[in-house]
Structure 1
Amino acid sequence: MGQSSTARQASPRDAASKVAQQRLSVLELARELGNVAEACRQRGMDRTSFYEWKRRSQTQGFDGLKDLPPIHKSHPQTTAPEVVDRIKELALAHPAYGCNRHEAMLALEGVRVSSITIQKILNESGLGTKVERWLALEAQNAETAIEITPEQAAFLEKLNPCFRERHVESSAPGELLSADTFFVGSLKGVGKVYLHAVVDTFGSYAFGFLHVSKQPEAAVAVLHNDVLPFYRHLDLPVKAVLTDNGREFCGTDRHPYELYLDLNGIEHRRTKVKTPKTNGFVERFNGTVLDEFFRVKMRETFYETVEALQADLDAWLVHYNTERPHLGYRNQGRRPVETVMSFVSQEG
């Protein structure tokens, strides 16, 4: 009983030889008939397979008609750990580069890794996209004090406008205010209208005053009527104001704006020539108020006076300061008023 059962069982080698013999019989039948199509029809083989087995029979003999061993699912050659570390290092050092460029840089170091493999490694490491590399850089910068290259800084500034404000440091509300003037538009019967804006670099709390000129008196008005009363009410000193080199902020020895700051014991700091981006806080506010307020309201409403536009701007500033969450590194999702009042409560 046991012997007959064993006899019925064929070894894998015998099974492979049997399949190879069947394929050989198709090749021999085609030679006898002189017709490949008919031989394939009789034996149930497609012509593509026939010619492949014929080629393998001619090059490898009978063994070529046997099935090839299965291919392992995992590739036997894995990337060395030190190469993986170097790929991640390059991705953070050059976050804007693509995988083809990283492949070329590795080749210069004598390391051969395909761009496809590099992309796979970066995906597995959470660095597969530019945004992921940006987030990793910011996390790295937040955890440890590191020196970043100009290339890394430019990349972060492009993706995250808040990052350009990193150089403007203030430890308290009122310690450093950022001021600027920009052209809003023209009102029929009134003429050009300018916004005189002031933004606190500590929590992005903003003030705005509309006027038909860029004269120093208008730039002083927003400080005198809005800014200083706000900080006096909170019992917080205004220590410094950062501006560009516009004529409304500086000029002669007895310039009205500088005289006003001097009378109130406020330091006047100015941005470097040809580098207006150093006043990034107020630049970012200008872009926000332009997109979210002026372009919307001036399409919806026909303003005949600056006072009417100012009234709507005041209402929007309440929304901006007390209702709208901010994603800057000071606020981190909080509203500007929350950031200011949190400081006041801690000091109290």
Structure 2
Amino acid sequence: GKVYSQVFIDSYSRVADAKLYTDKTAITAADMLNDRVLPWYESQGIPILRILTDRGSEYKGNIEHHAFELFLSIEGIEHTTTKAYSPQTNGMCERFNKTMKQEFFDTAMRKKIYTDLDDLQLDLDIWLEHFNNERPHSGKYCYGKTPMQTFKDSKKLAVEKNNEILYLDYISDSQNLTDNQVQNL
């Protein structure tokens, strides 16, 4: 079956996280924020004030009837969206999705047959730990440091400015795993 990766990236430090789902809905988008993103940033003392997403139906809808929009409203998070049909507007997420596909999914699918989503998520979490804490980045603010080191170095500034922006996106080419790669998902 298909596996979708709900992704977030801190736009300054490039700290990233991803959670796997078997569908792509407003509920899963809100779940990622509720389960992983907001608790982590709260533990760091940094409030999330604004999130940028694409215009997918999992992110956009009538605020009164759309789980993701309602969740953001309740949490007091401003929601901005990319320009229609302009993936370059969310280039940071697009680039991370490509890196995750090349460095994690392509390799993982050749090495192992996954029988459940939790097993695949566990391996993805190990890769994300490496990505955030060991893999140097040459990006605008990282200058050869890891995303986590960049985050730690900039934490005081982030708290002072109180202006964090996260990019939230689905992997653009969702992994369609063959039946012999994933069973019983």
The answer to whether the superposition gives a TM-score over 0.5 is yes
Please give the alpha-carbon distance, in whole angstroms, between the structure 2 residues aligned to 1:234 and 1:202. Answer: 15
Q: Is the Cα contact below 8 Å between 2:62 and 2:69 reproduced in 1? A: no
Which residue of structure 2 lines up, in the alignment, with residue 261 of structure 1? 72
Show structure 2 runs of 5+ residues with no match. Answer: 161-185
1:214 equivalent to 2:24? Answer yes
TM-score scaled to structure 1, two decimals?
Answer: 0.44
Pairing 1:166-245 to 2, within 5 Å after superposition: 191-245=1-55
Between stretches 305-314 and 213-222, larger displacement belongs to 213-222
Please give the alpha-carbon distance, in whole angstroms, between the structure 2 residues aligned to 1:338 and 1:280. Answer: 22
Residues 305-345 of structure 1, C-alpha deviation per residue, up to 9 Å, x if partnerless? Answer: 01100000011110011111011111111101111111225
Aligned partner letter, 1:240 = R
Tell me the secondary structure at the aligned position of residue 339 of structure 1: helix
The Cα of 1:274 is off from its aligned counterpart by 1.6
Which residue of structure 2 lines up, in the alignment, with residue 342 of structure 1? 153
The Cα of 1:275 is off from its aligned counterpart by 1.1
Which residue of structure 1 lines up, in the alignment, with residue 139 of structure 2? 328
1:277 equivalent to 2:81? Answer no
The Cα of 1:209 is off from its aligned counterpart by 0.6
Please give the alpha-carbon distance, in whole angstroms, between the structure 2 residues aligned to 1:332 and 1:239. Answer: 26
RMSD: 1.3
Q: Is the Cα contact below 8 Å between 1:207 and 1:222 reproduced in 2? A: no
Q: How many residues align?
A: 158
Larger radius of gyration: 1
Please give the alpha-carbon distance, in whole angstroms, between the structure 2 residues aligned to 1:205 and 1:315. Answer: 14
Please identify which structure carries the higher strand content. Answer: 2
Aligned partner letter, 1:248 = E
Q: Is the Cα contact below 8 Å between 2:9 and 2:15 reproduced in 1? A: yes
Show structure 1 runs of 5+ residues with no match. Answer: 1-190
Tell me the secondary structure at the aligned position of residue 3 of structure 2: strand
The Cα of 1:233 is off from its aligned counterpart by 0.6
Pairing 1:116-131 to 2, within 5 Å after superposition: none
The Cα of 1:251 is off from its aligned counterpart by 2.1
